[in-house]
């Protein structure tokens, strides 16, 4: 979902961030090595950030704000730069997650985004984006992980995640990665606001094969839907479209195992991956 192309001739949050860093550094009469010594990050890393070749990590953005006294400027520019890599429909999803009272998500072949670990997301991006640099992969991983902040809100949303058994059967990133991923799902499901179910292979065909769906219920009761396929996605807000998507979700949910049996199935997969851990 974090795929988008920026206009190379137009200033972007990424290039603005790099230019602002260069300006503050030169105004402070610091070389890149000098700044690197003060913020404790490699000067080569700072150089790539200044040139707009790589986004800073959250840690580096915070270190730069602390050193220059910029009151969160670099952290804000980092978020804007991360958001700019997301297509329009995906940006609406991320914004909606931040305001939702309830999030319902279904994944037909992948673990839903808000339940993914860094290693799992990294393995997905590496497989789906051949030829993309390591730095770009890490930026996309960071963007996906940032979405989890919705669970840190004082009014954190209720979350209902359903996934096809294929999502845990396929060893994305290898056995070691799946041990961490399934363990994370089981740990997440211990929280009172998170429910997880698995739709087993034994149920055969279902209404959500070949795609993923997120339904966001806002504080005022309105629902927004986001359906995603292999290379595209769309937001839906009209009553007729929401009714159709909600029906598809409900049909898939009706075939899913109850939560306790879903967790038992996840534990069985976890044990299988642990026995074959390739770490």
Q: In the predicted model, is pLDDT for residue 85 greater than 80?
A: no
User: Can you list the domains of the chain with their CATH numbers?
Assistant: 13-84 (1.10.260.40), 88-275 (3.30.870)
207: part of which helix (H) or strand (E)? none
Rounded to 5°, angle at Cα 235 from 83 and 14: 10
What is d(CA 56, CA 68) in angstroms, rounded to the nearest whole number? Answer: 15
Alpha helix segments (H runs only) across 129-217: 134-146, 166-169, 175-188
Of the pLDDT bands very low, low, confident and very high (cuts 50, 70, 90), residue 184 is very high
State whether the Cα torsion 245-233-168-83 is positive or negative. negative
Q: Give me the mean pLDDT over the 80-103 stretch.
A: 81
Give CA–CA dist 117/73, Å, rounded.
28
In contact, 176 and 117? CB cutoff 8 Å: no
The answer for residues whose C-beta is within 8 angstroms of residue 122's C-beta and 6 or more apart is 137, 138, 141, 173
When the pLDDT of each residue in the chain is averaged and rounded to a whole number, the result is 89
Inform me whether the pLDDT recorded for 279 exceeds 60: no
In angstroms, the CA 146 to CA 94 distance is 10
Q: How confident is the model at residue 89 (pLDDT cuts 50, 70, 90)?
A: low
Q: Are strands 158-164 and 223-228 parallel, antiparallel or unpaired?
A: unpaired
Residue 228 pairs in a beta bridge with 212, 233
Give the residue among 190, 1, 204 at the shortest CA–CA distance from 83: 1
pLDDT at 3: 42
- State both tokens at 232: 């595209």
pLDDT of residue 4: 44
Burial class (CB in 10 A: 0-12, 13-18, 19+), 3: middle
Cα–Cα distance measured from residue 275 to residue 271, given in angstroms and rounded to the nearest whole number: 6
Q: What is the pLDDT of residues 218-229, one digit of tens each?
A: 989 889 898 886
Dihedral pair phi/psi, residue 217, rounded to 5° = -100, 120
pLDDT at 142 over 70: yes
């Amino acid at each position: 979902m974090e795929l988008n192309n920026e206009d190379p001739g137009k200033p972007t949050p990424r290039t603005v961030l790099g230019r602002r860093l260069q300006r503050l550094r030169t105004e402070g009469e610091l070389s890149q090595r000098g700044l690197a010594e003060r913020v404790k990050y490699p000067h080569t890393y700072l150089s790539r950030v200044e040139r707009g070749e790589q986004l800073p990590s959250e840690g580096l953005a915070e270190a730069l704000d602390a050193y220059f006294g910029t009151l969160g400027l670099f952290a804000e520019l980092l978020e804007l730069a991360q958001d700019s890599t997301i297509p329009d429909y995906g940006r609406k999803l991320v914004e909606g997650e931040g305001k939702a009272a309830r999030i319902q998500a279904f994944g037909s072949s992948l673990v839903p985004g808000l339940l993914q670990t860094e290693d799992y997301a990294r393995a997905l991006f590496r497989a789906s984006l051949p030829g993309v640099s390591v730095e770009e992969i890490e930026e996309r991983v960071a963007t996906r992980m940032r979405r989890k902040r919705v669970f840190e809100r004082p009014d954190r949303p209720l979350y209902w995640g359903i996934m096809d058994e294929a999502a845990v059967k396929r060893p994305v990133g290898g056995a070691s990665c799946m041990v961490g991923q399934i363990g994370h799902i089981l740990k997440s499901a211990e929280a009172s606001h998170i429910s997880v179910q698995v739709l087993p292979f034994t149920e055969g065909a279902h209404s959500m094969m070949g795609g993923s769906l997120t339904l966001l219920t806002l504080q005022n009761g309105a629902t927004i839907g986001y359906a995603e396929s292999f290379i595209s996605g769309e937001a839906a807000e009209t009553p007729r479209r929401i009714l159709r998507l909600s029906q598809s979700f409900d049909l898939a949910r009706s075939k899913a195992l109850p939560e306790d049996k879903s967790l038992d199935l996840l534990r069985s997969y976890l044990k299988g991956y642990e026995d074959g851990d390739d770490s």
